[in-house]
Structure 1
Amino acid sequence: MKKIKLQVCAWLSASLMLGSCGLDEYNPAGGTGGDKLATFEGWSGMETYCYEPLYGQLFSSFDFLAVAEGGTDLFLTSNNRTWGQQVFYYEGLTTNTNYTNKLFKQAYSQINSCNAVIEGADDVADGNADNIKVLTAEAKCLRAYYYSLLVTYYGNITLNLKPSSEGSNLSPQRSTYEALYTQMVKDLTEAAADLNVTPYNGDYARVTKKTALGLLARVYAQGAGEGLTENGVSYWKRAAEVAEDLITNQAAYGADMYTDVADVWANANNKNNKESLFIAAGPASKDAANYTSSNIFTYMYPNPYKLSDIYKTADKSNYLYGRINNNIMAPSKYLIDLFDAPHDTRWDNCFTTAFGEESMVQAGWGTYASMNRTLTAEICQKYGIADSNVGKTIYAYADLAYNSTNANGNQYPAKVWPKGDHSGNVANLIEVKNIYATEYPLPEDEDRFSIYLSKDKLTAEEKARRAYVTINIDDLFDSEGKYIENSTDGTNCYQMFPALNKFSWMYDGAFTSNLQRRNGDVAIMRMAEVYLIAAEAEQQLGNGTKAAEYLNVLRKRACRHASDYENYMKLDTASEQDVLDEYARELCGEFNRWALLKRHHAFETQLAKGNPRAAASFESKHYLRPISYDFLNQISNADEYGTNGY
């Protein structure tokens, strides 16, 4: 990984000195390296650069997330804000909307790099033939992935397989869906044949055979939504075949899946997560972290310091949750209601609903008692807490250590104070899988949290008995299912919402020098999605019973108790709605939902359920994102090429 990052930085430095123009020159390097590609070192350096936008751009910032999850039934803006309304609600979406404009350019820029690698493979004068074959296969796999983004979000764009060194095309023509999907299938099929089960040079961030097969199943499923066939066979059938082969032979392909949902999101499993088929790998050194790191988590968390009279730590100095001051992307009521929390552990493993404070006894920066908060009569009256709780103490939830020797810089990994132990003795601290996954339901006698968002509808009396602020999640929404915009009770409780914690990382190596950014790997695709694709394809082929079998694998492992499966979670058959709902429970927030709704032509029905504001604005043109303003300004036939109706 260190070698990869150094090579990427070398190509990035070159990019700063060169410009670009035209569709097939959306390469930050502005070209293909000239004579450098004749050597294995130069050619393989360009191949490494093909990975750059995965973590450098797509999966470490809010832009692509907003395109991939915004405007769906699963996520709204907190407090019904107008920020980001272009992608969340289809209000004012245009060709120069930053999110969609950037994705178009980022994908095309790396297609050019992939083209250069693939075209130049036969001209490499040195290097091992097997290595060249594998790296060429990697480039084909990545090219297909970048094209899949373009076709999914922008429709029948231009297929170009030549590097910019062979000349610019300033009058590009759109290709057919058939041509685009045929090429993606070809690239992924060839990549699957030539890639190994183990990654090149042991670098787990590189694509392997399981990556190509997983993406092939995904591409077939997306193409099925366009009504495509292959030799007279439905793409749904092809998606089922590839997904089922990967499931049946997963051990042979080096694929795997955790038996416990908690392990998927355990901090110890973030690096080289065995369930991941395709990874956007975070930085492995402090220098690399200065180049790129992630701030996605800051958009998906509320700021508990908005209730500063009961929550002490300001966001600017919050080492536990980070500087969570963007507070924009909140789960819809529809998504929240999909989780049967008493039986499905995906609720508490994916959403933070209880917010506590950190002490720093291990770090030597403070005492355990320094974070105590005593409930006053004024606080109790304000938040509906019973007078009998006046004088009770809220203690720290977590304690942070300090490590200055990690390659990523200063680190502050945390452990949890045991419930009921107020000794402040660090020897009693507990290691947990995910410090952001809190117990469901939060016990009434809990004293380590200041604020709790209850999925269960608690009465005023039930809330009053608890010595912490209790907010019913349902009360955060108005009658239409939108988040309320202002306080109705004189508090700031309306500014809270359940926080998707899939991109919040807490381990030795996750911290940067900026509390607004963290390091961690992001699964672009994981094995659970293959089961979902298999179920989706079988259901579309009319095999509801077979579809249920694949969904049940995911539902069974999510059970809170063994008895939950037969009594509550098991499906006998699966409808299209069952498939859409299970995708939401398993993959919410994982850059997947918009593509899924598109291929099922389900925006109209699903937005009405989960995103009423978007439903009011949605038009047929919104099945495609607008073509990039910057691209249209660089070609000579912009009017002919079109904007996708924007």
Structure 2
Amino acid sequence: MKKLHYILLSTVLLALSSCHDMLEEHPVGLATAESYYSTPKGIEDGLKATYTTLRTFYGQQEAFFLTINGTDLFTNGFGGVTNFPDINDYSPNFLGTNAFVTTIWNNFYTGINQANAVIGRAPNVAGLSDAEKNRIIGEARFLRALYYFHLVQQFGDVHFSLEETIGVQTTAKRTPVSTIYEQGIIPDLQYAIEHLPAKATQYGRVTKPASEALLARVQLTRGNWAEAERLANQVIKSYGFQLVKPYARLWDIDNDVNSEVIWSVQFTPDPLLNGAGNESHLFFIWDYTFNPTMVRDIENGRPYQRFMPTNYLIKLFDPSKDARWDGSFKTVWKANRTGVINGKNVAVGDTSIKIVTYPVADAVKNAAPYWLIDFKDRWVGNINNTEIGGMSRRYFPVLKKYLDPLRTSVNATDGRRDFFVIRLAELYLIAGEAAWRQNKPADAAAYLNVIRSRAAMAGKEKQMEITASDVNLDFILDERGRELVGEMDRWYDLKRTGQLLERVKKYNLDAAVNIKEMHLVRPIPQTQIDRVTNPGDFLQNPGY
């Protein structure tokens, strides 16, 4: 299967390659957009450039901090506290000067303007059929919709333009979120649905089902329940997607292209094409090298220790029947050098660390021939060093969805794993929630039981089934947490359901003391506010 890879030519143009193609660079930066984008190859390269923004967000640290941290499921690990505590904690220091906020703002607007250029210029390109023009425009409009969707969810009212900006623009206005949905995001996705193929000629390009799936997500966010369910059902039934079984197989790095992925952002093992790469593998790992029988290696990863599961996340799973716990989290490490633990010799390949999600007596832990880290459901700060969260937030179950054992060295950060943006399981979750919102709890339970059946341990399928009476908003959010943990959607889920403040105050004690209504949007980057010549029309979000 072919994949898209991207390499920047000049400042905006990219060359597209598959894993079997030879990359050919051309000095297109010497040409003007006016002349180059008027050719079939030029407009295609302009479209490829529009995809670039995807890899500045998906798989990157800034996006994880702004989508999964500061929620009911993740708080700061040791590296988060040490380096970037403010977002999770909703600190008074979380301001428009925050570099992560500035980065995603700038990158999304770069992507939007690139999309605007393609959309505006493609109709005038000679040598392309109408179908080809519509496909190019459809892909660009999908990407523009996605970029605006992130912006309005993060920042609320933002500057909105569907026209290419040429030269320096010094004014901006904040357009209401509803207008951006009604005049931008929704019609863009409807156009993409109408004009894109069911299957792309090159893996990684946007398709009709990807557009329907994203619009289902948008309509769920907007509260258009019937339309969200209809679109989700369309994707579920019409294109042959299937859930990967068992759940853990979904995260096998050699299984990036599989029947469940509706659309993913492409990365590659070629360092010349991969840029910064997918860095997801860095952020959910704690420093296992404190153990005397462990040294850093490729298999166990480079530990940035940014994000630690909350107690609530740990308690969401029943590992005795739900395979998603073991499929999502690493809890056992094998020694990669000899050493002594609790007075016992440990050989290479023996268990060196084991994390369990229940309390264990100290005498049992002290007698084990490995580090036995237990869970007593106490928040960090009120624990001992042999519990989850111990050693200053260093010990915790590791989210293993993003581990990258194919990196080139123990310190390599440029991962090659694709990033799954939309997968089939989410469509069942969308349909289930939308059905429940329409007072159809039996239908909701039926949708949710499909993914719970896939998640069941062998022989535990009946125990995983739910009935209509089990379905409520808390259950839906919990099921989304179990299925999609760490997949860059939790902050959005809590915000759109009105549960962000309540759940953070209840389950993330680091953030509970500070979070307020103002935190339903992020601060507008100060650089943006400082640069406009009409500051009265472009005010900071209240409270920041």
Fold shared per TM-score above 0.5:
yes
Task: Pick closer, same or farther for the CA change 1:205–1:43 going to 2, 3 Å.
Answer: same
Partner of 1:90: 90
Partner of 1:133: 134
Asked if the contact 1:355/1:452 (under 8 Å) is kept, the reply is yes
Is 1:216 equivalent to 2:113 in the alignment?
no
Partner of 1:145: 146
Partner of 2:325: 347
1-structure distance, mates of 2:446, 2:242: 18
Partner of 2:233: 244
Letter of the 1:190 counterpart = Y
**Root-mean-square deviation over aligned CA pairs:** 2.5
Q: How does 1:273-288 map to 2 (within 5 A)?
A: 273-288=258-273
Q: 2:140 is paired with a residue of what secondary structure?
A: helix
Partner of 2:348: 395
Q: How does 1:14-413 map to 2 (within 5 A)?
A: 33-55=33-55, 57-79=56-78, 81=81, 83-91=83-91, 92-165=93-166, 169-182=169-182, 183-199=184-200, 202-224=201-223, 235-251=224-240, 255-270=241-256, 272-289=257-274, 291-307=275-291, 309=292, 311-313=293-295, 315=296, 318-324=297-303, 326-358=304-336, 371-373=337-339, 375=340, 379-380=341-342, 390-391=344-345, 393-396=346-349
1-structure distance, mates of 2:132, 2:386: 64
2-structure distance, mates of 1:354, 1:190: 48
Q: 1:220 is paired with a residue of what secondary structure?
A: helix
2-structure distance, mates of 1:12, 1:485: 51
Unpaired runs of at least 5, structure 1: 16-28, 225-234, 359-370, 382-389, 397-447
Partner of 2:468: 572
Structure 1 window deviating more from structure 2 (512-521 vs 636-645): it is: 512-521
Task: Pick closer, same or farther for the CA change 1:494–1:451 going to 2, 3 Å.
Answer: farther
Partner of 1:362: none
2-structure distance, mates of 1:488, 1:596: 33
Q: 2:53 is paired with a residue of what secondary structure?
A: helix
Is 1:593 equivalent to 2:457 in the alignment?
no
2-structure distance, mates of 1:471, 1:569: 31
1-structure distance, mates of 2:410, 2:164: 39
Residue among 621, 631, 645 paired with 2:528: 631
Q: How does 1:402-481 map to 2 (within 5 A)?
A: 448-464=350-366, 466-474=368-376, 478=378, 481=379
Task: Pick closer, same or farther for the CA change 1:192–1:605 going to 2, 3 Å.
Answer: same
* Higher Cα radius of gyration: 1
Q: 1:144 is paired with a residue of what secondary structure?
A: helix
Q: 1:145 Cα deviation (Å)?
A: 0.4
| CA shift digits 1:402-425 (9 cap, x unpaired) | xxxxxxxxxxxxxxxxxxxxxxxx
2-structure distance, mates of 1:284, 1:453: 32
| CA shift digits 1:312-333 (9 cap, x unpaired) | 31x3xx1222322x21211111
Letter of the 2:255 counterpart = N
Letter of the 1:221 counterpart = L
Task: Pick closer, same or farther for the CA change 1:486–1:516 going to 2, 3 Å.
Answer: farther
Q: 1:210 is paired with a residue of what secondary structure?
A: helix
Is 1:500 equivalent to 2:500 in the alignment?
no
Asked if the contact 1:36/1:43 (under 8 Å) is kept, the reply is yes
| CA shift digits 1:560-580 (9 cap, x unpaired) | 122x23234434331000100
1-structure distance, mates of 2:210, 2:315: 33
Q: 1:486 Cα deviation (Å)?
A: 7.5
Q: 1:515 is paired with a residue of what secondary structure?
A: coil
| CA shift digits 1:184-216 (9 cap, x unpaired) | 1111111011111121xx321111111101100
Q: Under a length normalisation based on structure 2, what TM-score does the superposition of the two structures give?
A: 0.90
Letter of the 1:281 counterpart = Q
Structure 1 window deviating more from structure 2 (519-528 vs 634-643): it is: 634-643
2-structure distance, mates of 1:332, 1:511: 32
1-structure distance, mates of 2:478, 2:394: 27
Q: How many residues align?
A: 522
Asked if the contact 1:69/1:589 (under 8 Å) is kept, the reply is yes
Partner of 2:478: 581
Task: Pick closer, same or farther for the CA change 1:354–1:502 going to 2, 3 Å.
Answer: same
2-structure distance, mates of 1:594, 1:639: 30
Q: 1:102 Cα deviation (Å)?
A: 1.1
1-structure distance, mates of 2:193, 2:203: 16
Task: Pick closer, same or farther for the CA change 1:169–1:286 going to 2, 3 Å.
Answer: closer
2-structure distance, mates of 1:247, 1:36: 40
Identity of aligned residues (%): 25
Q: 2:230 is paired with a residue of what secondary structure?
A: helix
Asked if the contact 1:141/1:187 (under 8 Å) is kept, the reply is yes
1-structure distance, mates of 2:417, 2:4: 16
Asked if the contact 1:152/1:222 (under 8 Å) is kept, the reply is no
| CA shift digits 1:314-360 (9 cap, x unpaired) | x3xx1222322x212111110110011111111011111111244xx
